[in-house]
C-alpha cells in the first residue's frame, strides 16, 4: 500500500546554512590547532557558540509553528532554552581556555559553566520525561527493560574508562565531570526511548532520528571520548561534538516545522528492538578488548561467550522474523476482515441501487442533527409519474433513472447535506443549517436541475418531483419531522406536479381533516352509504334523453361531492370507490336494458379520476365489468378531465386501451384545464363537455358566447360531439341551439335523478312511444 503523504525533505534555509557552516568551521579550527597550533584555542569555541544561538532561534520558531499540540510546543520551548544554557556554558569554556587552557583539555569547568551545562541538560530531561506515557503494561515493561539495558551498558563503559583514567594518573578531577556528563547523557537516552515508545509526544518520526543522533553525539563525544583521547592544552573534543549535537537539534527542529499540519506517517511494525542487541554487541566488544590484556585463557572464554551470545541473538532474530511473517499474515487477514465489515456496514446503511443512504441511516442522521439543536430542514421528494417509466420502458430503465436522479442529488446538494432513498421512488434530504425559506431556495435550484433531461438506459428522460419540507423546532424528533415533511409533500402533489410545499399549521389542519374525513369515507363505503344518481343528457332542441351521467352522493354524510371526491383522491380511497361506482352503474344499465330494451338509455357516462387511470389493470377491470353485466362497450362512456391526461403517460395509455375496447371517451369540464387544444390531437376523445362556466354568461354578445361558438366550430372540424354543461335557463338552451349545439345537460332539463325516478321516466317514455305507435 503506497503512502501519499508528502515527505518533509531537507531544505537549506539561512539558519541551517549558518549552522552547517559553523560546524565545518569548528572542525577546521580544531584540526588546525590539533596538528600545528596557529592561533589561540579560544577561537575554536566561537563557531559552536554561534551554532548554539542558531539552534536556540530554530527551536523557538518551531514551538510557534501552527498545527503543533500543546505538549510538543512545551517540549520545543524547553529545548530552545536548553540550547541557550549550553551556549552560555560554552562561552564559559571559551573564557577558561584563555585563562587556564590545561583545565579545558581535562574537561574541568568553573562553577558558573557547570551550572549552565547541568541546568540545560536537566531542563531537556525534565521536558522529555514530562511527556505522557501511553500504552499498556507490555509497553511499560519494554520501556523499563530497554532503559535498564542502556543504563547497564553506559555504566560499564563509564566505569571502565574511569578506572583506566585513574590508573593512568589523570586524577579524579578529570573523571568526575566526565562521569557526570555520561550519566546525564544516559538519562537523555532513556527519555528518548520513552518518547519513541509513547507515540513520540507529537514529534515527527524523522525528527526523532535527529534527536537520537544528538543524544549519541552528546553522550559519546562529550562524556566518554575525553576519557580515552588525551587533548593538547586548550583544546577539547567539545569544540566539535557540542556544535555537532546542536546541529542535529537544529535539523530536528527544521524537520518538525516542515512536517507540522501534515498527517503523521504510519510507522511500520518493528519485529524487535535494536537497543538490547546493540548494548550486548558493545559490551561483548569491550569484553574482548579487556580480555586481550588478561591472558589467552580469559580471551578464549570471552570469545566463546561472545560467539554464543551472537548465535543466541541470531537464533532469536530468526524466530522474531518468523513471528513477524505470521503477524503480517494475521494483519492481512484482519485488514480483509475489516474491509468486509466496512462493506457489510455500508450495505446495511446504504441503498444498493443508488448508493445513497437508506431509511435507517437517514433517520439516525436526522436524530443526531436534531440533538445538536442547530437549524435543520428535512425534505421528502416523491418522483412524479415514475410508474410510467417502469410500465412503458421497463424496470431496467427505471432503475437507471433512479441512479441518475441520485447522482443529480449528489452534484446539486451542498457539502454536509445528506440524500437518502427511502423506498421506491421516494427520497429524503437532510439540509442542516437552513431555515424553511433558505431550504426553499436550495430545493428550487434542485427542482430546476431535476427538470433538465437526463440519460438513463439509452433514453432521454425528464424528472419532476413533488417536494415537502419540514423545519425542525425545539424538541423535534426524527419521526415527527418525517411525518410533517410527508404532509407537506402530499400538499405539493395536490397543487400540481413538480411543486414543493413547506409545512405549516394550516397544512396540518387540512391533513387532519382529510384523514378524519377519509376514515369516514372508508367506513361509509364499507357500510354501503353511498348512492348513485343520474343526470340526463338531452338532445336540442327537443329535449329528448340521449344518455345519462352517473354522479355519486353521500346522503348520510351530508357532504357534497365537491368536498369528499378531492379527499378521496388524496387519500387513495377514490380507487375502491371508483370501482364500486363502475360496477354499480353498469349493473343498473344492464337492468334498464333488460327492462326497457331500445327505450332504455343509449349511453351511460361514469367519471374516472386520474388516480384510477394510473392504476395498473384499470382497462382490464372495465372490460371484465362490461362482460360480467353484458353491457355493450359503445354504451359506456368514460368521462375524464383534461388535467387527468395532461401529462400523458399511463393515463393516456389507459384511455387508448379503453378506446380499443369500444368504450367512448368524453373530455369533461373542457376549457378549464391545461393545453386543451393540444390534447385534442393526442387524447382519443369522442365528445367534449363544455364547462358550465362558459354557459352561464352565454346570453348576449359576451366573451362566453364567443368561446362557446368557437368550441362548436372546433368540435365540428374534428368530428366530435359537443355537450354543453350547466344549462339552467330556456334562454341559454335556445342560444346554444342557435350556436349549433345539439346536446346539453343541466337543471333546466332535469336535476340528477335516483334510479327509481329514472326508471319511472323511462317507463313513461316507453308508454308514450307505444301509444304513438298504436295511433
Residue spans of alpha helices (H) in 260-295 = 274-291
470 and 535 together in one domain: no
Q: So what's the pLDDT on residue 5?
A: 46
Q: So what's the pLDDT on residue 531?
A: 94
Report the range of poorest mean pLDDT among 226-240, 273-287, 304-318: 226-240
- Tell me, what CATH number does 456's domain have? 3.30.70.270
Whether residue 101 lies inside any domain: the answer is yes
480 and 543 together in one domain: no
Whether residue 350 lies inside any domain: the answer is no
Q: So what's the pLDDT on residue 174?
A: 46
Helix (H, G, I), strand (E, B) or coil at 455: strand
68 and 181 together in one domain: yes
Q: Which residues pair with 454 in a beta bridge?
A: 461
Q: Which three cell numbers stand for residue 566?
A: 378531492
Q: Collect all residues with Cβ–Cβ distance below 8 Å to 322 and sequence separation of at least 6.
A: none
**Which band of pLDDT confidence, cut at 50, 70 and 90, is reported for residue 742?**
very high
164 and 284 together in one domain: no
Whether residue 8 lies inside any domain: the answer is no
316 and 210 together in one domain: no
What 406-414 contacts at long range (C-beta under 8 Å, 24+ apart), as own/partner pairs, is: 406/351, 406/354, 406/355, 406/356, 408/449, 408/450, 408/454, 408/463, 409/356, 409/446, 411/449, 412/445, 412/446, 412/449, 413/442, 413/446, 414/442
pLDDT tens profile 534-562:
999 999 998 899 999 999 999 876 788 88
Average pLDDT (233-261) is 77
Q: Which helix (H) or strand (E) holds 70?
A: helix 70-99
- Selection from 695, 692, 622 nearest residue 654 by Cα: 622
Domain of residue 726: give its range: 524-770
pLDDT tens profile 152-209:
776 676 666 666 655 555 444 444 444 444 554 555 555 555 554 444 455 666 676 7
Q: What is the DSSP letter of 223?
A: I
Contact 376, 430 (CB under 8 A): yes
**Which band of pLDDT confidence, cut at 50, 70 and 90, is reported for residue 3?**
very low
**C-alpha span between 665 and 607 (Å, rounded):** 10
Average pLDDT (648-675) is 81
**C-alpha span between 77 and 127 (Å, rounded):** 9
Whether residue 349 lies inside any domain: the answer is no
486 and 618 together in one domain: no
Whether residue 518 lies inside any domain: the answer is no
pLDDT tens profile 482-530:
999 988 888 888 777 778 888 888 887 877 777 788 888 889 999 999 9
Q: So what's the pLDDT on residue 436?
A: 80
Whether residue 49 lies inside any domain: the answer is yes
Contact 676, 696 (CB under 8 A): no
Average pLDDT (665-691) is 76
Phi/psi region, residue 238 (left: phi>0; alpha: psi -120 to 50; beta: rest), is alpha
Helix (H, G, I), strand (E, B) or coil at 134: coil
Q: Which residues pair with 383 in a beta bridge?
A: 465
Whether residue 6 lies inside any domain: the answer is no
Q: Which residues pair with 670 in a beta bridge?
A: 690
* φ, ψ of residue 551 in degrees (nearest 5): -130, 140
Count Cβ atoms within 10 A of the Cβ of residue 535 and give its class: 0-12 exposed, 13-18 middle, 19 or more buried. buried
**Which band of pLDDT confidence, cut at 50, 70 and 90, is reported for residue 278?**
confident
Contact 755, 532 (CB under 8 A): yes
Q: So what's the pLDDT on residue 340?
A: 87
Instruction: Among 263, 288, 310, identify where a domain stops.
Output: 263
Count of other CB atoms within 10 angstroms of residue 427 = 26
Q: Which residue has the higher pLDDT, 151 or 668?
A: 668
Contact 311, 303 (CB under 8 A): no
* φ, ψ of residue 82 in degrees (nearest 5): -60, -45
**Which band of pLDDT confidence, cut at 50, 70 and 90, is reported for residue 592?**
very high
49 and 195 together in one domain: yes
Q: So what's the pLDDT on residue 172?
A: 43
Contact 247, 19 (CB under 8 A): yes
**C-alpha span between 124 and 189 (Å, rounded):** 11
Helix (H, G, I), strand (E, B) or coil at 180: helix
411 and 329 together in one domain: no
Chain centre distance of CA 278: 51
Sign of the dihedral through C-alpha 285, 286, 287, 293:
positive
Q: So what's the pLDDT on residue 230?
A: 56
Q: So what's the pLDDT on residue 65?
A: 82
Q: So what's the pLDDT on residue 746?
A: 93
Q: So what's the pLDDT on residue 107?
A: 59
Count of other CB atoms within 10 angstroms of residue 733 = 23
Pairing of strands 604-607, 545-553: parallel
pLDDT tens profile 46-73:
888 888 888 889 888 888 888 777 877 8
Query: pTM for this one?
Result: 0.52
**C-alpha span between 610 and 608 (Å, rounded):** 7
**Which band of pLDDT confidence, cut at 50, 70 and 90, is reported for residue 423?**
confident
pLDDT tens profile 616-634:
889 999 999 999 999 999 9
Q: So what's the pLDDT on residue 175?
A: 45
* CA distances from residue 580 to 143, 196, 443, 606 in whole angstroms, order as listed: 86, 83, 40, 11
Q: So what's the pLDDT on residue 666?
A: 92
Q: Which residues pair with 523 in a beta bridge?
A: none
* φ, ψ of residue 413 in degrees (nearest 5): -80, 160
Q: Which residue has the higher pLDDT, 563 or 390?
A: 563
656 and 572 together in one domain: yes
Count of domains for the chain: 4
pLDDT at 396 over 70: yes
Phi/psi region, residue 473 (left: phi>0; alpha: psi -120 to 50; beta: rest), is beta
Rg (CA), the chain: 49
Q: So what's the pLDDT on residue 373?
A: 86
Q: So what's the pLDDT on residue 192?
A: 53
Q: Which residue has the higher pLDDT, 347 or 272?
A: 347
Q: Which residue has the higher pLDDT, 293 or 762?
A: 762
604 and 489 together in one domain: no
Count Cβ atoms within 10 A of the Cβ of residue 436 and give its class: 0-12 exposed, 13-18 middle, 19 or more buried. middle
- Selection from 509, 503, 525, 641 nearest residue 575 by Cα: 525
Q: So what's the pLDDT on residue 339?
A: 87
**C-alpha span between 346 and 333 (Å, rounded):** 20
Whether residue 1 lies inside any domain: the answer is no
Instruction: Among 316, 343, 370, identify where a domain stops.
Output: 343
**C-alpha span between 160 and 595 (Å, rounded):** 133
Q: Which residue has the higher pLDDT, 704 or 457?
A: 457
Strands (E) across 337-437 are located at: 376-383, 418-423, 426-432
Count of other CB atoms within 10 angstroms of residue 366 = 24
569 and 490 together in one domain: no
- Tell me, what CATH number does 589's domain have? 3.20.20.450
When mean pLDDT is compared over 10-24, 116-130, 169-183, 340-354, the highest value belongs to 340-354
251 and 325 together in one domain: no
Q: Which three cell numbers stand for residue 87?
A: 551556549
Amino acid at each position: 500500500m503506497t503512502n501519499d503523504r508528502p515527505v518533509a525533505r531537507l531544505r537549506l534555509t539561512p539558519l541551517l546554512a549558518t549552522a552547517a557552516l559553523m560546524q565545518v568551521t569548528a572542525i577546521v579550527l580544531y584540526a588546525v590547532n590539533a596538528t600545528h597550533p596557529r592561533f589561540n584555542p579560544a577561537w575554536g569555541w566561537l563557531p559552536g557558540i554561534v551554532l548554539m544561538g542558531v539552534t536556540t532561534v530554530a527551536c523557538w520558531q518551531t514551538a510557534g509553528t501552527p498545527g503543533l499540540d500543546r505538549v510538543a510546543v512545551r517540549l520545543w520551548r524547553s529545548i530552545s532554552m536548553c540550547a541557550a544554557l549550553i551556549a552560555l556554558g560554552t562561552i564559559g569554556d571559551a573564557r577558561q581556555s584563555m585563562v587556564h587552557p590545561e583545565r579545558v583539555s581535562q574537561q574541568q569547568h568553573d562553577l558558573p559553566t557547570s551550572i549552565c551545562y547541568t541546568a540545560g541538560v536537566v531542563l531537556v530531561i525534565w521536558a522529555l520525561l514530562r511527556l505522557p506515557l501511553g500504552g499498556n503494561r507490555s509497553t511499560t515493561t519494554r520501556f523499563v527493560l530497554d532503559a535498564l539495558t542502556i543504563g547497564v551498558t553506559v555504566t560499564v563503559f563509564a566505569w571502565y574508562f574511569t578506572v583506566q583514567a585513574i590508573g593512568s594518573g589523570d586524577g579524579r578531577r578529570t573523571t568526575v565531570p566526565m562521569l557526570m556528563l555520561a550519566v546525564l547523557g544516559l538519562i537523555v537516552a532513556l527519555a528518548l526511548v520513552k518518547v519513541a515508545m509513547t507515540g513520540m509526544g507529537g514529534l515527527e518520526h524523522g525528527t526523532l532520528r535527529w534527536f537520537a543522533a544528538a543524544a549519541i553525539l552528546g553522550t559519546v563525544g562529550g562524556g566518554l571520548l575525553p576519557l580515552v583521547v588525551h587533548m593538547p592544552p586548550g583544546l577539547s573534543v567539545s569544540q566539535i561534538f557540542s556544535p555537532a549535537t546542536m546541529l542535529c537539534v537544529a535539523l530536528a527542529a527544521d524537520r518538525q516545522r516542515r512536517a507540522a499540519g501534515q498527517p503523521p506517517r504510519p510507522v511500520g511494525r518493528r519485529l524487535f528492538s535494536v537497543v538490547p542487541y546493540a548494548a550486548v554487541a558493545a559490551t561483548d566488544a569491550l569484553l574482548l578488548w579487556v580480555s586481550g590484556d588478561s591472558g589467552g585463557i580469559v580471551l578464549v572464554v570471552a570469545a566463546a561467550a561472545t560467539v554464543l551470545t551472537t548465535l543466541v541473538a541470531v537464533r532469536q532474530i530468526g524466530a522474531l522474523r518468523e513471528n513477524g511473517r505470521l503477524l503480517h499474515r494475521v494483519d492481512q487477514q484482519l485488514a480483509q476482515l475489516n474491509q468486509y465489515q466496512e462493506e457489510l456496514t455500508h450495505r446495511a446503511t446504504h441503498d444498493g441501487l443508488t448508493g445513497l443512504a437508506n431509511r435507517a441511516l437517514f433517520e439516525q442522521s436526522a436524530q443526531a442533527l436534531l440533538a445538536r439543536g442547530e437549524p435543520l430542514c428535512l425534505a421528502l421528494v416523491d418522483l412524479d409519474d415514475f410508474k410510467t417509466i417502469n410500465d412503458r420502458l421497463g424496470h431496467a430503465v427505471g432503475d437507471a433513472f433512479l441512479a441518475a436522479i441520485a447522482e443529480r442529488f449528489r452534484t446539486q446538494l451542498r457539502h454536509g447535506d445528506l440524500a437518502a432513498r427511502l423506498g421506491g421512488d421516494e427520497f429524503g434530504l437532510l439540509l442542516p443549517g437552513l431555515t424553511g425559506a433558505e431550504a426553499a431556495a436550495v430545493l428550487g435550484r434542485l427542482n430546476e436541475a431535476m427538470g433538465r433531461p437526463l440519460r438513463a438506459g439509452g433514453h432521454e428522460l425528464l424528472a419532476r418531483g413533488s417536494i415537502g419540507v419540514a423545519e425542525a423546532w425545539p424538541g423535534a424528533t426524527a419521526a415527527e419531522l418525517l411525518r410533517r415533511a410527508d404532509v407537506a409533500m402530499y400538499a405539493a402533489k395536490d397543487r400540481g406536479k413538480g411543486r414543493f410545499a413547506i409545512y405549516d399549521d394550516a397544512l396540518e389542519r387540512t391533513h387532519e381533516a382529510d384523514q378524519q374525513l377519509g376514515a369516514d369515507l372508508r367506513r361509509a363505503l364499507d357500510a354501503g352509504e353511498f348512492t348513485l344518481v343520474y343526470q340526463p343528457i338531452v338532445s336540442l332542441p327537443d329535449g329528448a334523453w340521449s344518455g345519462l351521467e352517473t354522479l355519486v352522493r353521500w346522503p348520510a354524510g351530508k357532504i357534497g361531492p365537491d368536498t369528499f371526491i378531492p379527499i378521496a383522491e388524496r387519500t387513495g380511497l377514490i380507487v375502491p370507490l371508483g370501482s364500486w361506482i363502475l360496477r354499480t352503474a353498469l349493473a343498473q344499465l344492464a337492468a334498464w336494458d333488460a327492462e326497457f330494451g331500445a327505450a332504455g338509455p343509449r349511453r351511460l357516462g361514469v367519471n374516472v379520476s386520474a388516480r384510477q387511470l394510473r392504476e395498473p389493470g384499470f382497462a382490464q377491470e372495465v372490460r371484465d365489468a362490461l362482460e360480467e353485466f353484458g353491457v355493450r362497450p359503445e354504451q359506456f362512456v368514460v368521462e375524464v378531465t383534461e388535467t387527468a391526461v395532461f401529462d400523458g403517460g399511463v393515463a393516456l395509455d389507459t384511455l387508448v386501451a379503453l378506446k380499443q375496447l369500444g368504450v367512448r371517451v368524453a373530455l369533461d369540464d373542457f376549457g378549464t384545464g391545461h393545453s386543451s387544444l393540444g390534447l385534442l390531437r393526442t387524447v382519443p376523445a369522442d365528445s367534449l363537455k363544455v364547462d358550465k362556466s362558459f354557459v352561464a354568461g352565454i346570453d348576449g354578445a359576451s366573451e362566453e358566447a364567443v368561446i362557446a361558438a368557437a368550441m362548436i366550430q372546433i368540435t365540428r372540424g374534428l368530428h366530435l360531439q359537443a355537450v354543453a354543461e350547466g344549462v339552467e335557463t330556456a334562454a341559454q338552451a335556445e342560444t346554444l341551439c342557435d350556436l349549433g349545439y345539439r346536446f346539453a345537460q343541466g337543471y333546466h332539463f332535469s336535476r340528477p335523478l335516483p334510479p327509481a325516478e329514472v326508471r319511472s321516466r323511462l317507463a313513461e317514455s316507453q308508454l308514450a312511444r307505444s301509444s304513438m305507435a298504436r295511433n
